[in-house]
């Protein structure tokens, strides 16, 4: 059941990265709430919860295997944004960065012949396809509407329906 120490360290690093993602999206949510775009804010807070659950999946994988979780310091996320489009362009860029981290972690698990870690990480690989696709779709829709337009408020309403 023991994991290679480098892989264990990489899992702990990814836990931190997922928690940073949650923190980033929570910060983005506060921006939207302050701007009166409560639907966008709700969507981002939902995203923050999802990222926290990703961190916990990694945490539980280590714990289930009898490995120690070492929590690391989380950087402060940005707090100033200029528009909804900028926020979602940053979201898409961030998700692409996370995809690279997950792919690197998955490659490491494969190289170390850790089948359990590889299988656990396959879920994350699939999840990142969805994460990037969703962020890209919202970016494209935001490009079609102008800030403070009827379309913007319709999109705010739609995103606010996220559970």
- pLDDT tens digits for range 117-156: 999 999 999 999 999 999 999 999 999 997 778 888 899 9
Examine residue 128 and state whether it is found in any structural domain, yes or no. yes
Residue ranges of the chain with per-residue pLDDT less than 70? 1
Domain that holds residue 14: 5-158
**CATH classification of the domain holding 51:** 1.20.1260.10
Whether the model clears a pTM of 0.85, i.e. scores above it, the answer is yes
> What is the total count of domains within the chain?
1
Distance separating alpha carbons of residues 24 and 29, to the nearest angstrom? 9
Examine residue 163 and state whether it is found in any structural domain, yes or no. no
- Supply φ then ψ for residue 35, to 5 degrees: -85, 0
DSSP-assigned states of every residue in 83-151: -HHHHHHHHHHHHHHHHHHHHHHHHHHHHTT-HHHHHHHHHHHHHHHHHHHHHHHHHHHHHHS-TTSHH
Residue 162 to residues 30, 108, 157, Cα–Cα distance (Å): 16, 34, 10
Examine residue 151 and state whether it is found in any structural domain, yes or no. yes
């Amino acid at each position: 059941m023991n994991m290679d120490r480098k892989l264990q360290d990489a899992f702990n690093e990814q836990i931190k990265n997922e928690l940073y993602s949650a923190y980033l999206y929570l910060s983005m949510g506060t921006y939207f709430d302050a701007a009166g775009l409560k639907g966008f804010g709700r969507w981002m807070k939902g995203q923050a919860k999802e990222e926290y659950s990703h961190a916990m999946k990694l945490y539980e994988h280590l714990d289930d295997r009898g490995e120690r979780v070492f929590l690391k310091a989380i950087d402060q996320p940005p707090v100033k944004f200029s528009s909804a489009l900028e926020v979602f362009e940053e979201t898409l860029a961030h998700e692409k960065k996370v995809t690279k981290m997950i792919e690197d972690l998955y490659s490491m698990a494969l190289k170390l012949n850790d089948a359990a870690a590889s299988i656990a990480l396959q879920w994350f690989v699939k999840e990142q396809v969805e994460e990037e696709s969703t962020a890209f779709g919202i970016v494209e829709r935001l490009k079609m509407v102008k800030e403070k337009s009827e379309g913007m408020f319709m999109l705010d309403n739609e995103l606010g329906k996220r559970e």
